[in-house]
Structure 1
Amino acid sequence: MLQVSTIEKEFERYTNGLKKRGLEQAESLLKDVLALDGQRKKLQGELDEVLHESNKLAKEIGQLFQQGKKDEAEAAKAKTSDLKQKSKNLSEELNIVENSLTNSLYNIPNIPHESVPAGKTDEDNEVIKVVDDGIPDLGTNNKPHWDLIEEYDIVDFETGNKVTGAGFPFYKKQGARLVRGMVNYFLDKASEAGYEEVQPPVVINEASGLGTGQLPDKEGQMYHMEANDLYLIPTAEVPITNMYRDTILKEEQLPIKHTGHTPCFRREAGSWGSHVRGLNRLHQFDKVEIVQVVKPSKSYEALDRMVGHVEDLIKSLGLPYRILKLCAGDLGFTSVITYDFEVYSAAQEKWLEVSSVSNFEAFQANRLKLRIKNSDGKKELAHTLNGSALAIPRIMAAILENNQHVDHIKMPEVLHPYLGFQEIRKS
C-alpha cells in the first residue's frame, strides 16, 4: 500500500498518478487518508500524554504513602482511575481510526511509473518489441489446439468437467509428459539464473492475501475455503513473497531470488468463445514463478534482468512473441510497471499472454512490513518484483498449433531431454 508520509510530501504526484490510472476521485481519496492520519496523530498524542501523566502519578502515589500523606495518595489514586478510563477510551477511538486508515489505504492502488503510457484498456498498451519471423505457414495443417488435443488424446476436458467442473482438465499421456517437461525445464533455467527453488503451500491465509495485494482487490477471483478462512493461491508469487512478511533483512542478504512451481487457481468464468476455449483460459493451471526482493536502488536493474530471462525462455522454445508495456489503466492493482509477453498462436491467428513481469517498488513491502536494515543501521522498505516464467497452458497451445503436421506435432528441441520424445503422435 501507499505510504502516508510519501503521499503528504508528494501529494500532487500521487494524485496525478492515480488519475492516470483512471481514478478521477484520487484527490478526495488521498485527502481523506491524510485527514484520517491527522486524527490518528492527534489521538496518539493525547493518549501518550495521558499515559505519561498516569505513569507520573503512579510514582507519586508510592512516595505520598511513604511520606504518610494518605489523603493525598488516595486522591491521586482516584485521578489515576480516571486516567485509565480516559486512556481506554482513547485507545479504542485510536484503534477505530487506525483501522479506517489501513482499510482506506488497502483500497487505493499503486501509482504508475512515469514511463507507463496513459490509457484505459489493453488496446492502449504499448508494443515495445515484436519477434514474428518464426510464424509458421500452416497451410491446411491449421487446426486449433482444442482440436489437436482431442485428436492426439493428450488433454481431457470432458472427464475434468465430470470430476470437478469446467476449466479443470486432465492432462494425459504425452500431454502430461509435456506439462511436466516444461515445468522442469523452466525451473532448471531459473536455477541457472540464480533463483533458489522453493515449493510453497498452495493455500494461504487472509494476511498473506492482504500482504501481496490480492485482497481485497481480487477477492472475487480467488477460491475461498470459508470453514478454514483460507484461499487457494492465484499464483506462487503470493506464498513466496509472504515468506518475508514481518521481516527485517540485512543488506548483505539481498538480492533474494526465488523460483517455484505451483498449480494456480482463478475463478475466471468468461463467456464461451475462442478467447476462452480449450487451454486459453482455465480455473486451474500450472505456472513457474520468479520472485525477487531487492534494495530500492536495484529494482529496475532486477526488472530488466527478469524481462530478459522470460524473453530468453520464449526464444528457446522457438515461438513468435511480442513484449508490451501495460498502460496505466491496464496495470494490476499493486504494480508500478508491468511488461506482458504474448506468443503467437498460428492456428488461432492471435496473440496469447503467457507472462507478466512486474515491479511493485515498496507497495507490497509496506503491506508486508518487509524492511531492509542498511549497513548504517537505517531501515527502509524493500522493493519486490515477480514474473511468470512461464504459464504452461497457453505455451502448450502455441507449441501444439505452431508445430503441427499431418500426422504428428514436433516438440521444441530444448524440451527433448525433458520429454523422452521429440514429437507427439497418435497412440
Structure 2
Amino acid sequence: MSACAGKVSGRFDRTSVHQFDCFLLYLSVSDAQCVVQNVSHAYYYSAISPNCNTWALRFVSTGDSSRLIAHFILGQLAANNFCKVYEGSDDQGKLAGTLEGGGLSFPVFVESSSAYISCVTNLTSESVSFFIQQFTSCGDDVADIPYKLLSPMFPSYYPNYAGCVWRFQMNSSRTLVFQFSTSYTENCCDFLYFKNEAGKVDKFSGRLWSFDYTVTATNLTVLFVTDYSGASTGFSATNENGTVSVSFLIWRYLAPSPAVIQRDVQNKLNVTCLFDADLLISSSKISTQIGFDEIFAKKAGTLDVALNLFSNEYFNESLPREVIVPNYIFAKLKLDEISAADDYFIVQLEACWATRNENSDSLPSYQIVQSGCVVPPSGGEAADAKTLIRNYESNFATFKLMSFVWTNFTDAEQFIYIHCDVTVCHNSTGQCPGQVT
C-alpha cells in the first residue's frame, strides 16, 4: 500500500462495497495541485481542501441515467475562484457550465454520463464540499400563474437521485410569491434552488415551517436536487402573482425665461404605484392644473364695483378655484345694486394687472389693461392672450385673459390676484369720455 500514500479527500457510501484501485480514493498532492484522476460510480462526494490551488476530477457514472448534476452542498468558493464542468473525459469537451465563487452557485447539468471538473481554488480559505451524481429528470415548464410547486410524490417521501427543474417564463418582469405550507428535506444533502435571469441564487434545505419566498424575475429556474442517502416529505408551495412597484418622475422642463409670466407650465411630479404583476403599464398625457383663488375685489365709495370671474364668454358659470393653463379667464366688473333710474352710470376700466398675492403693489406683476387699452402682447404671447370685450359702454366692463403660471415659482405658489382701477361716470348729460383708441 506504500504506493498509495497521499492525502484522503474522497468519501464514499459506507454501506457500499467499492473495488477500486487505491489511487481512485486518494488524492495525489504535489505543488498544491489536488487531482483525482478517475472515479467511476453513481455519485461522488469530495471535500476540496483549502490547501489546493487547483483541483480536478474525471467522473464516469455507473448508474442508469445518462445525465449528471454537479453542485456544492457545503461551503462557497471565494470570489474569482470557480469550477468548470465539461462533458466527457477532459477539458476539450463541451462546457456544461461553471460553478462560480463569491456566493451561492447554481448547480450545473451535464448532458452526458461522464464529466471532467477543473477548479481554481487558490483564494478559497474554507473546505468546500463538492458533489456529482446521476439524476432522474422531473419538473415542468411554467407559463401560467398561479402554479402549485410540489416535490415529487408529495406528501409521500420524494425519491433519491432527483433533479427536478421548473422553468417559469413570463412576458415581462414579475414579482412572484411562493407561499410554502411546508418544506421538509434532508438538511445536509437535498436542496431547493431558485435562480432568476440576473443570476440571483437562493437555496433552502431542512425543516422549514410555513413561509413566503418572494422573487422578481422574467425567467426563473427552480431546481430540486436530492442525493442517495435519505428522503423526507418534501415541499408544497402555491405561487401567486405579486405586485409591481413602479416609481417614476413626470417632469416637463422649460428653459429659463426673463418674462414675468408664462403659459407653458413646468411640471414635476413624483409618482409611486402598486400594480398587479400581470398588468401592462403605460403613461398618458397629464393635464396640468394650477391653484386659483376666486376674488371679489370692491372699492368703497358712493358706488360699489364688484369684480367677478367666470369660465365662459356668457359670464354665467363661475370660475372654479383651479383652472387648466392656458384656458381663458373671463372677468366682469359691474356696479352693484344699480336701479333702472341709475342706468346712466358708465364703468370705465382704466387699468388692470395681476399679482401673486393680495397686495396690489407686490411683485412680480403682469399688466393686462393700461390707460383703458389692452397692453400689447410680449414675450411670444399670442395676439389674443388679452382682450377687452366691453368698456366705456355701460354699467359693467368685461375682458378675457389666458390663464398662466408665474415663472420660477412652485405649484404651491401659483396664485393669481387681479386688481383693477375703475372710473365711474354718470352719463346723464352724455359727456362721459368714450373708449380710448
TM-score (norm 1): 0.21
**For the pair shown, which has the larger CA radius of gyration, 1 or 2?**
2
TM-score (norm 2): 0.21
Judging by fraction of residues, say which structure has more helix: 1
